[in-house]
Amino acid sequence: MKARKPVCPYCNEPFDPSPFHPNQKVCLSPECQRRRRKDYHRQKITTDSEYRQVCADSRKKWRESNPDYQSRYRGRNEDYCQRNRQKQRVRNQKRRLSLIVKNNLAIDLKRLPAEVWMTGPGLDGIVKNNLAISQVLIFQTDGDSMEAI
Ligand SMILES: [Zn+2]
């Protein structure tokens, strides 16, 4: 009785393994082989520090031999530049807010009847990351309470 053909985990199609690789898990289609190599690379780079270093050195060498690639890429891809600037603005804002929080550690916020109001675009993502999209302004009132707006 003939054994069942293995099924490729990427395209879900049965395939004939190579006689030289009887334990082959992925079919030979270029797309499935590309995905297999990509998954291997991703897994290996997280578990093998030497492999990770070799990959980093390789990228560094490539950048050094193609020094104007990045500026040409930016010139061709305005959308990429816009998204990148927006993400950098969010990172800068997050860093500024974390500095404000650190500088206010001396205040015992638990004793203050504070309210926080958030405003800004993208409030639907607030559950994931409210520091990235909001600004916090802290005002001290003339009474003995403090409001955070
Ligand atoms: Zn396949």
Span from the CA of 58 to the centroid of ligand 1 (angstroms): 29
What is the rounded CA–CA span in Å between residue 104 and residue 31?
Answer: 54
Q: pLDDT tens across 30-45, in order?
A: 999 999 999 999 999 9
pTM of the entire predicted model: 0.51
97 C-alpha to center of ligand 1: Å?
A: 48
27 contacts: CB under 8 Å, gap ≥ 6: 8, 10, 11, 13, 15
Q: Is 107 helix (H, G, I), strand (E, B) or coil?
A: coil
Each residue's pLDDT tens digit, 90-139: 999 999 888 877 776 655 555 555 555 555 665 555 545 555 444 555 55
Expressed in angstroms and rounded, the spacing between residue 28 Cα and the centre of ligand 1 is: 7
Give CA torsion, residues 118, 119, 124, 129, to 10 deg.
Answer: -50
Confidence at residue 147, expressed as pLDDT on a 0 to 100 scale: 45
Confidence at residue 62, expressed as pLDDT on a 0 to 100 scale: 97
Listed residues: CB within 5 A of ion ligand 1: 8, 10-11, 27, 29, 32
Which amino acid, one-letter code, is at 114?
A: A
Å from CA of 29 to ligand 1 middle: 6
Q: Supply the pLDDT for residue 133.
A: 46
Cα(12) to centroid(ligand 1), Å: 6
